[in-house]
Structure 1
Amino acid sequence: MASAESRRMGNGGSVGGAFQPYLDSLRQELQQRDPTLLSIVVALVAVLLTLVFWKFIRSRRSSQRAVLLVGLCDSGKTLLFVRLLTGLYRDTQTSITDSSALYRVNNTRGASLTLIDLPGHESLRLQFLERFKASARAVVFVVDSAAFQREVKDVAEFLYQVLIDSMSLKNTPSFLIACNKQDITMAKSAKLIQQQLEKELSMNFQRIILNSLSVSRSPFL
């Protein structure tokens, strides 16, 4: 029974691993005295470590209460921000700073999130993403479906940066690509946008690999 409990604790993650030497020492000492007492102590320690680990994860997750709206300029982020908060349609303009407000979640009693609209200007967007990414529970990447064909490379490049930054976080946020302005006649469909972005992201990845190989080989050429 003692070995089964020890294996269970070993699978519990890094918290259990840090205490493993102490647990081994305690197990040996108790085993010499009373095997039954050993089983009880190991079970109690396993429960305690599980509670500590759960509380640690919960506290980290609770600090991520923001939903980030990101995208290029004129993609419709700010209008989406206003519609989510007020349900109204209002004229908006390009901003050089962020906007934030508390958003009440209807289907969860008392729950709220911070909705943050980040500027989409090329010289500002990565700077603001860096500032707020650690607090992000979710990221909504807004695409202008009507202007997508001429902006596809810029959209893919920024999307790649956002994805890389998001995956570097310990608690990776949820991710949604919102194909906006679908009511406009010349808008590209969500399916076509998905296919084009997948193609561009693949090409971006290949370029990065080739550039890294070129840099690593340059001293030998």
Structure 2
Amino acid sequence: MEADSTGGNMGGKADTEMSDNPFEPYIESLRLQLEEQDPVLLIGLIVALAAVVITCVFLKYFLTSKTVRSAVLLVGLCDSGKTLLFSRLVSGKSKRTQTSITDNSAPYKAKNDRGSSWTLIDLPGHDSLRSQYLEKFKSAARAIVFVVDSAIFQKEVRDVAEFLYVLLTDTVIFRNAPALLVACNKQDITMAKSAKLIQQQLEKELNTLRVTRSAALSSQDGSVGGSVYLGKKGKDFEFSQLHMKVDFVECSARSSKGEEGDADIESLEKSLAKL
């Protein structure tokens, strides 16, 4: 009787172990099959699987970073009319403005069939502030609206070009390639320069800046001051050489009939609707 009891217990333990590992025979069979395979083939399969995983991770990161960039930055020198333009775009109304010392932001709904909406951010134009605010928001930029005072452009062309040079050679902006809209503002003023003339003058000034900056700051790896090279080497600079979309538009945030009149920002709104 004791022998039967002992045998029964042993049989029960074996059955329990079998039930605990129902996949063990399959695992063992798979192990034997893998051992019989060519090692080169196995390595190839592992590399292919790793490539698929890496590609999926990269695509997820790339698509996520694209959706995050939903800001439209308004930048430019002081008194170029950025803040008034910001008010016109957001509310359609004019308001008294003063030199900004911090950023202003508000939702902006583009005038297109898709109902696209962005976060419009007006950055301070003072040279002591603009770099830190640009650093704060540049990674989120889907587009950059560079506002130029067309009425006094000839006096400010050097300063405008220097600020634009900083933007275009920034590594983050170069990598993300947000659309660049150069808004030639204050077209309601008689002496305002046209968008075409402003583009031509900026190309000449940026070409000169590229030469002087390259000579002064060229580093061993061929970059300039840790920034990217502007345009194509061996050719005079043109905006068409940039890998980002560039548009020059004429606009006026202030109406020729006074602050309460309608602004002329239709061309800028059309460009924003295409983002």
Q: TM-score, normalised by structure 2?
A: 0.58
1:134–1:169 CA contact under 8 A, matched in 2: no
- Unaligned ranges ≥5, structure 2: 1-37, 219-275
1:8-87 alignment runs, 5 A limit: 28-29=41-42, 51-87=56-92
The answer to whether the Cα contact below 8 Å between 1:146 and 1:188 also exists between their aligned partners in 2 is yes
Identity of aligned residues (%): 60
Match of 2:145 in 1: 140
**For each residue in 1:9-48, what CA deviation from the matched residue of structure 2 results, as whole angstroms up to 9, or x when unmatched?**
xxxxxxxxxxxxxxxx9981399xxxxxx8xxx7x98877
**Structure 1 residues 51, 111: closer, same or farther in 2, change over 3 A?**
farther
Alpha-carbon distance between aligned partners in 2 of 1:76 and 1:191, rounded to the nearest angstrom: 20
* Residue in structure 1 matched with residue 190 of structure 2 by the alignment: 185
The aligned residue for residue 107 of structure 1 is: 112
Q: Deviations over 1:173-199 (max 9, x none)?
A: 111111011121000111111111001
Relative distance call for 1:52 and 1:27 in structure 2 (3 A) is farther
**88, 98, 117: which one pairs with 1:93?**
98
Q: Residue 210 of structure 1: CA displacement?
A: 2.2
Q: For structure 1, list consecutive stretches of 5 or more residues without a partner in the other structure.
A: 1-24, 32-37, 214-221
The 1:45–1:105 alpha-carbon spacing in structure 2 relative to 1, beyond 3 Å, is farther
Aligned-pair Cα RMSD in Å: 2.7
User: 1:166, 1:172 within 8 Å by CA — same for their partners in 2?
Assistant: no
Deviation at 1:49, TM superposition (A): 6.0
- How far off is 1:166 after superposition? 5.9
Distance (Å, rounded) in 1 between the aligned partners of 2:112 and 2:40: 48
Amino acid in the other structure paired with 2:41: Q
Using the TM superposition, name which of 56-65 and 179-188 deviates more: 56-65
Count of aligned positions: 180
How far apart are the structure 2 equivalents of 1:134 and 1:126? 13
Q: Verify: 1:204 aligned to 2:209, yes or no.
A: yes
| In structure 2, C-alpha distance between the alignment counterparts of 1:79 and 1:50, rounded to whole Å | 45
2:165 aligned partner: 160
Structure 1 residue matching 2:214: 3-state secondary structure: helix
